[in-house]
Amino acid sequence: MIDQKLPRRAILKGALAALASIPVVAAVARVEAAPAAKLDANDPQAKALHYAPDTSKVDAKTNPNHKPEQKCANCLQYQGKATDAVAGCNIFSGKQVDGIGWCTVWAKKA
């Protein structure tokens, strides 16, 4: 067996690095645990993509390609289950959208 001593300086550096990483890990955990804010229909990106929190209230003149059965819950970009009332969206990152909502990026989930 090799009998090798670790220098005190190396041990102290390792301990300080471990202590310094604790606040960073705690901050990341808080960010991940915080629920995402719900998308506001007046948000500039939401307006640009004609987001409506309720697919039944989409203006047919402005969005002629919209169909009543199209909603966020059955869109490819929706990150939740089809039965979730709200969930994340790949288009509106960091925000949650209504499952019954709709926007012009809607694409049928396979």
- The whole-angstrom separation of Cα 56 and Cα 46 is 17
Instruction: Report all structural domains of the chain as residue ranges with CATH numbers, in order of start.
Output: 8-98 (4.10.490.10)
What's the mean pLDDT in 61-69? 94
Percent of the chain residues topping a pLDDT of 90: 65
Lowest mean pLDDT of 4-13, 29-38, 64-73, 77-86, name the range: 29-38
Residue whose token pair is 């948000």: 43
Residue whose token pair is 């890990």: 25
What's the mean pLDDT in 77-95? 94
Quickly list H helices, the chain: 8-33, 44-48
pLDDT band at 32 (very low <50, low <70, confident <90, very high): low
**Tokens standing for residue 106:** 């809607």
